[in-house]
Amino acid sequence: MKYSRFSTALVAAAAAWTMAAASGVDDAMMANDADGSNWATYGRTFSNWHFSPLAGINEGNINRLGLAWSLELPGITNGATVPLAVDGVLYFTVGQSMVHAVDAVSGRLLWKHDPEVTRVAGHKLRYTWGPRGLAVWKDKVYVGTTDGRLIALDARSGREVWSRMTVTPEDSLTLTGPPRVFGGLVVIGNAGSEWGAVRGYVTAYDAETGEQRWRFYTVPGNPADGFEDEAMEMAARTWTGEWWKLGGGGTVWHAITYDPKYHRVYIGTGNGAPWNRKIRSPGGGDNLFLCSIIALDADTGRYLWHYQTVPGETWDYNSSMDITLATIDVAGEPREVILHAPKNGFFYVLDRATGKLLSAEKSGKATWAERIDVETGRPVEVAGVRYEESPALIWPGGIGSHNWHPMSFNPGTGLVFIPTMEIAGLYDDKGVDRKRFAMVRGDLNTGLVEFTGDAPPDAGRSALLAWDPAAQRQVWRVDTPGLWNGGTLSTAGGLVFQGQSDGMLNAYAAANGQRLWSFDAKMGITGAPITYEADGRQYLSVVVGWGAAGPAFFGSLSAQHGWQARVHPHRVLTFVLDGNDSLPATPPPLVAQPVDDPALKIDPAQAAQGESLYARRCNACHGLAAVAGGFAPDLRASPVGLASESFRAVVQGGALELAGMPRFDEFSDEEVEALRMYLRRRARESLAAMRAEARAGDNSDH
């Protein structure tokens, strides 16, 4: 669509909206792409553009953008989140589903709701880092929790109105994705297919009462139990062996988009459980509906169509990334499409009516497939990528070329702005007993050889990419620091905003990627900014915090930025033209200093046992090879590990459970000591390496 046509549509729709306002968030507000006053749902409107038609802050005056206020969020370990703004109130969830309502103009906290997740989550506390967003409908706010509750809060008071358990306490499923609301329904999926034998599903609840209205499973269960619907029967024909014993996976852990035109829900499914298809489905097969976009009838959850981006997924690839609705020119004709940049490194344009593939091109480094055949819709895989001759180094690795970090779509220019990553995965299953493999609840179950190494600082890189989906080509790209950066916001003011791993919030010219403005937030940013109006002025807000998989897993690659959750505060920052507030004093980036007890004798066999336990149960939060990326404390540097008693009290006894450190009471004393020995060994090795580096530095000075 040309910009002028778009703006005329904007004005008409904005007028219609003004009359309908005041009843809170409803379908009309979320369907209205033209009115920028609120940011009412995760992607702002149903289109999921992460774009605002506001142009009060623009290329011409961005140099006047300044801090209006900041609010510190004490004791928070996850800030990978997108806030909402409705009628001048900012809503956001941080840490373990702590929901905040804040006056957008003054920064005054109106209320806060703590669902006390760490008190009730038990083993589920191990599987996630907290949610990425929330939803508002009429007079209620909705949030999911790590223990699996979907909670409705009164938007005015923060009081709990209803709560539904959406999973079973025994499984490894947690809620991390933002709930999506439309037409009086609230839809939520779940996450956790690495940590136990689970089948993915989405459930729709009545937004008012919390009654369950429908549920759709994404992978088939045991045929002997009968199938829930015809879709599952069809899907089962694409699986082999006894997959149901392993769960299968396919969790809908992030992407859910409602399409008001067709009254449909599009869901994006995740990887297989375990990742390795040779184990999951030993005779091969596409394994529907893993790694797919599925269209469902919004009233009933009935299957309508699907498009699978990665048939026979075996690399932890996902289609859980943004599902964006747009109208773009395809072969000279405006077409209603879905834009999708999943983990696998390709950018997809699908026909929204039918799910048929219109085009797909590489938008990142992808060595697993040569191209996507548009006729069949299937990838043309490169020989050997399924680690037939293990091991195989494949781009992208399981973290993806693009992950959940929102991309944004500017309907005026037709460009998409994508936070991209470039990092390989090493896939190796040599020596894994594929026949006897079982999903062990609590382990990182991949079906691959355990990875115990670090990710060095240069193991990956990242870029902000401007992509033309109609032409399927790059328009510009700028390198961004490290691997794990925030989602993007684009605006009719000709700007693209992104918070980054080095703590900078940047604004770029949408036309060419020139950096026009920066603000040093003094802590890594992983969420995405939003913009909205309050008291007649345009504001921009972002939750500053170093959260989710990057900081948790990626060892030295993430630790290089020097953020530590206990040292560097999470904050909400709000900006306005001519804002002149400044941040309170904040410690500079800090590198963890390992501590050693030179008198301690480390038993190598015991430390090796600990290394394996660590890789299965601890590195998801404390980092690869015990190098913490900043989400949880660096265990090489923690004095807690210097004595057996204090270490046992934390790991086995749950002494820090309320602060977010899960309890591992299934471990024997001997296993805990093995873990401790491994950490002592890592501390000693790291210190020796640091000293050697310092000596090399000294010598080169002379």
The letter for the amino acid at 34 is A
Q: What are 446's strand-pairing partners?
A: none
One-character DSSP codes across 124-152: GGGS----S--EEEBTEEEEE-TTSEEEE
Lookup: tokens for 251: 């969790």
Binding status of residue 548 toward ligand HEC by CB under 6 A: no
Least distance CB 661 / ligand HEC (angstroms): 3
Each residue 78-117 as x (binds ligand HEC by CB under 6 A) or -, in order, gives ----------------------------------------
Q: Does 621 bind ligand HEC (CB under 6 A)?
A: yes
Residue 635 touching ligand HEC (CB under 6 A): yes
Whose Cβ is closer to ligand HEC: residue 422's or residue 685's? 685
Nearer to ligand HEC, 511 or 613 (CB): 613
CB of 27 to ligand HEC, least distance (A): 37
DSSP state of 25: B
Do residues 545 and 525 lie in contact, with contact meaning Cβ atoms separated by under 8 Å? yes
Query: Does residue 660 bind ligand HEC (CB under 6 A)?
Result: yes
Q: Which of 161, 449, 478, 656 forms a contact with ligand HEC (CB under 6 A)? A: 656
Q: How far is the CB of 111 from ligand HEC (least distance, A)?
A: 24
Shortest Å distance, C-beta 151 to ligand HEC:
20
Q: Which tokens belong to 314?
A: 């075996």
Told to check if 647 binds ligand HEC by CB under 6 A, we report yes
CB of 118 to ligand HEC, least distance (A): 9
Residues 6+ apart with CB under 8 A from 6: 411, 412
Segment contacting ligand HEC by CB under 6 A, of 210-218, 474-482, 634-642, 682-690: 634-642
510 contacts 494 by C-beta, under 8 angstroms = yes
Report the alpha-carbon distance of residue 150 to residue 497 in Å, rounded. Answer: 31
CB-wise, 45 or 77, nearer to ligand HEC?
Answer: 77
Q: Is 592 in the site for ligand HEC (CB under 6 A)?
A: no
| Interface with ligand HEC, residue 77, by CB under 6 A | yes
Q: Which of 73, 448, 664, 674 binds ligand HEC (CB under 6 A)?
A: 664
Give the footprint of ligand HEC on residues 550-579 (CB under 6 A): 566
With binding defined as CB under 6 A, does residue 650 bind ligand HEC?
yes
Stretch in the footprint of ligand HEC (CB under 6 A) among 150-158, 480-488, 533-541, 612-620: 612-620
| 118 is an interface residue for ligand HEC by CB under 6 A | no
Would you say 447 and 275 are in contact if contact means Cβ atoms under 8 Å apart? yes
Choose between 659 and 689: whose C-beta lies nearer to ligand HEC. Answer: 659
Q: Give me the catalytic one of 316, 322, 429, 454.
A: 316
Enter the tokens of residue 345.
């490194």
Please report whether residue 126 would count as binding ligand HEC according to CB under 6 A.
yes
- 632 touches ligand HEC by CB under 6 A: yes
Q: What is the dihedral of CA 278, 281, 284, 289, to 10 degrees?
A: -120
Of 40, 416, 633, 674, which lies in the binding site for ligand HEC, with binding defined by CB under 6 A?
Answer: 633
Q: Does 172 bind ligand HEC (CB under 6 A)?
A: no
CB 150 within 8 A of CB 186: yes
Told to check if 649 binds ligand HEC by CB under 6 A, we report no
- List the one residue from 98, 236, 540, 620 that touches ligand HEC (CB under 6 A): 620
Phi-psi region of 315 (alpha: psi -120 to 50; beta: other; left: phi over 0): alpha
Contact 48, 42 (CB under 8 A): yes
Single out the residue of 625, 538, 627 nearest to residue 576, CA to CA: 538
Least CB distance to ligand HEC at residue 513 (A): 36
Stretch that binds ligand HEC, among 211-219, 441-449, 479-487, 639-647 (CB under 6 A): 639-647
644: nearest Cα among 606, 615, 590, 700: 606
Cβ-based nearer residue to ligand HEC, 356 or 566? 566
Which of residues 132, 199, 405, 622 is near ligand HEC by CB under 6 A? 622
**What sign does the CA torsion over 555, 556, 558, 562 have?**
positive
Q: Which of 661, 674, 677, 683 binds ligand HEC (CB under 6 A)?
A: 661
441 or 622: whose CB is closer to ligand HEC?
Answer: 622
Count interface residues toward ligand HEC (CB under 6 A).
Answer: 25
Residue 651 in the binding site for ligand HEC (CB under 6 A): yes
Our answer to whether residue 316 is catalytic in this structure is yes
Q: Single out the segment in contact with ligand HEC by CB under 6 A; choices: 348-356, 441-449, 469-477, 616-624.
A: 616-624
Per CB under 6 A, 362 contacts ligand HEC: no
Contacts of 26 (CB under 8 A, 6+ apart): 20, 137, 138
> Which residue type does 225 have?
D
Candidate segments 103-111, 283-291, 532-540, 632-640, binder of ligand HEC by CB under 6 A: 632-640
Give the CA radius of gyration of the chain. Answer: 24
Compute the least distance from the CB of residue 85 to ligand HEC, in Å.
29
Stretch that binds ligand HEC, among 276-284, 368-376, 570-578, 636-644 (CB under 6 A): 636-644
> Is residue 659 a contact residue for ligand HEC (CB under 6 A)?
yes
Kindly state whether residue 189 participates in binding ligand HEC, applying the rule CB under 6 A.
no
543 binds ligand HEC (CB under 6 A): no
> Residue 662, interface with ligand HEC (CB under 6 A)?
yes
- The maximal CA–CA distance of the chain, rounded, in angstroms, is 76
Distance CA 338, CA 335 (A): 10
Nearer Cβ to ligand HEC, position 256 or 444? 444
Segment interacting with ligand HEC (CB under 6 A) among 52-60, 327-335, 523-531, 652-660: 652-660
Extract the runs of DSSP E, i.e. beta strands, from 331-390: 333-340, 346-351, 357-362, 369-372, 379-381
Backbone angles phi, psi at 130, to 5 degrees: 110, 170
How far apart CA 572 and CA 582 sit, in angstroms, is: 13
Q: Which stretch binds ligand HEC (CB under 6 A): 101-109, 509-517, 573-581, 635-643?
A: 635-643
151-155 long-range contacts (CB < 8 A, ≥24 apart) are: 151/97, 151/115, 152/186, 152/207, 152/210, 153/99, 153/113, 155/24, 155/86, 155/89, 155/91, 155/101
Contact call for residue 610 and ligand HEC (CB under 6 A):
no
Q: Which stretch binds ligand HEC (CB under 6 A): 257-265, 513-521, 590-598, 627-635?
A: 627-635
* 617: contact with ligand HEC by CB under 6 A: yes
Q: At what angle do helices 669-701 and 604-617 cross, to 10 degrees?
A: 100
| C-beta of residue 485 within 8 angstroms of C-beta of residue 419 | yes
Distance between CA atoms of 514 and 547, rounded to whole angstroms?
27
Q: Are 122 and 75 in contact (CB under 8 A)?
A: no
d(CA 227, CA 239): 14
Amino acid, res. 677: M
Query: Closest CB to ligand HEC among 260 and 654?
Result: 654
* Interaction of residue 675 with ligand HEC, rule CB under 6 A: yes
Residue 663 within binding range of ligand HEC, rule CB under 6 A: no
Query: Is residue 683 involved in binding ligand HEC (CB under 6 A)?
Result: no
Burial annotation 638-654 (CB, 10 A radius, 16+ → b, else e): bebbbeeebbbebbbbb
**Six-digit token string for 312:** 């026979």
Give the catalytic positions in this structure.
Answer: 316
**Interface residues toward ligand HEC, by CB under 6 A:** 77, 125-126, 566, 617-618, 620-622, 632-633, 635, 638, 640-641, 647, 650-651, 656, 659-662, 664, 675
